[in-house]
Amino acid sequence: MRFYTDQHRYYCGIDLHARTMYACVLDGSGEIVAQRNLRTDPAMFLEFLAPFRPDVVVAVECIFTWYWLADLCADEGISFVLGHALYMKAIHGGKAKNDRIDAHKIATLLRGGMLPRAYVYPREMRATRDLLRRRLYLTRLRGLLLAHIQNTNHQYNLPPIPAKLHYPSNRVGFLARFEDPSVHKNMEADMTLIAGLERTIRDLELYIARQAKRQQSDLFHRLRSIPGIGKILALTILYEVQDIRRFERVQEFASYCRLIRCAKESAGKRKGSSGKKIGNVHLKWAFSEAAALFLRANPAGQRYLAKLTKKHGKGKALSILAHKIGRTAYYIMTHKRNFDMNKFLAA
């Protein structure tokens, strides 16, 4: 957990929503000097903040509407802090809760150096990252439609599907097995949606790959040198990390990727673990997928997993492998070197 500790003359906390925001400004002694409910209008916000510039810092909780406010503050030279939503427990712990109270608490945490920080992703790569996340959503939606077809086939106890429907060539004549007109129409709707999603996904992948080669070509190809990391996983790691230098140690990177368990201890006694949902879920998915794909056509990797399985069990062995691949990706991006299987297995 990282806190914002820089000192300013004024501290502005904002409870931000889609159409409105409540802003509260404190001075150095903690007194409220201004507070107002505003529309999410840049001109209105700058007018409200004008008496306190240039030495003012703005803080907002990390929700889906923070992009425009961060960009506005960057353009105007105003210090901006993004609060980590899961760490900001003080906002949700009061007896009463409303926009005015929340804005005041954010400003108080900011002034006291106790505001937990989230990473303000730069605008240059942000849109491409969101496009990559959208592609993942569409891919999962395609998987749900394929699963629905399989389930319907089982519902009517029809013969097993002879070939994988992931490939368009295997879908030719498939609908003929459903004799009921309503079931046939249901499956036809799934097939139509799957075909449309596949066209969209292909276009997105082509566009994102071009963007990656233009923005971070070297790291993109170095990550792909790791067995199991292909084009999509390399893109996901690149755009979710953005700048590996923001992680001073590999342990911080592994924690951000949700590859380790955080212990809960008190008085020398361990009481389990916590914080499983704090970190980047997309990186967790990427390295978990990479661990499974790492074993394909890789006898050395399979022997290594068997060794881990014998000691820890299959589930934990895969988690250890994902953690090891995550650490390897960190050093590849830090030192800008390609993957070395001998070093990977010897470490």
pLDDT tens digits for range 120-129:
999 988 999 9
Domain ranges, residue 319: 247-262+280-346
117 three-class SS = strand
Same domain flag for 14 and 111? yes
Whole-prediction pTM: 0.88
What is the number of structural domains in the chain? 3
Q: At what angle do helices 231-241 and 123-155 cross, to 10 degrees?
A: 140
**Site of tokens 């425009």:** 68
- Which of 101, 118, 135 is where one domain is finished? 118
**Residue predicted with more confidence, 14 or 214:** 14
List residues bridging with 117 in a β-sheet. Answer: 83
Q: Is residue 25 within 8 Å of residue 35, measured between CB atoms?
A: yes
Whether 5 maps to a domain, the answer reads: no
Whether 328 maps to a domain, the answer reads: yes
Same domain flag for 64 and 153? no
Whether 159 maps to a domain, the answer reads: yes
pLDDT of residue 91: 66
Q: What rounded mean pLDDT belongs to the chain?
A: 93
Give the pLDDT confidence of 215-226 residue by residue, as tens digits: 777 898 999 999
Whether 231 maps to a domain, the answer reads: no
Whether 232 maps to a domain, the answer reads: no
- Which of 118, 138, 168 is where one domain is finished? 118
Same domain flag for 148 and 211? yes
Whether 3 maps to a domain, the answer reads: no
Kindly state the average pLDDT of the residues 120-140: 94
Same domain flag for 48 and 73? yes
Give the pLDDT confidence of 181-237 residue by residue, as tens digits: 999 999 999 999 999 999 999 999 999 888 877 777 789 899 999 999 999 999 999
pLDDT of residue 132: 94
Give the pLDDT confidence of 229-286 residue by residue, as tens digits: 999 999 999 999 999 999 999 999 999 999 998 888 888 888 777 777 889 999 999 9
Same domain flag for 219 and 288? no
**H, E, C per residue of 179-208:** CCHHHHHHHHHHHHHHHHHHHHHHHHHHHH
Structure tokens at 292: 């499974």
Same domain flag for 141 and 195? yes
The C-alpha atoms of residue 115 and residue 87 are separated, in whole angstroms, by 9
Q: Residue 25 region, left (φ>0) first, then alpha (ψ -120 to 50), else beta?
A: beta
Tell which residue, 320, 312, 328, has the closest CA to residue 259. Answer: 320
Residue type present at position 66? W
Q: How many CB atoms lie within 10 A of CB 80?
A: 18
- Which of 97, 118, 139 is where one domain is finished? 118
Could you tell me the CATH number of the domain that includes residue 94?
3.30.420.10
Report CA 167 to chain centroid distance, whole Å.
Answer: 29
Same domain flag for 74 and 131? no
Same domain flag for 177 and 192? yes
Q: To the nearest 5 percent, what fractions of the chain are helix, strand and coil?
A: 55, 15, 30
Whether 64 maps to a domain, the answer reads: yes
Whether 141 maps to a domain, the answer reads: yes
Same domain flag for 136 and 48? no
Whole-angstrom CA distances from 320 to 83, 124, 289, 309 are 31, 34, 13, 10
Same domain flag for 61 and 79? yes
Tell which residue, 3, 179, 22, 38, has the closest CA to residue 103. Answer: 22
Question: Which helix (DSSP H) or strand (DSSP E) does residue 92 occupy?
Answer: helix 89-92
The C-alpha atoms of residue 335 and residue 332 are separated, in whole angstroms, by 5
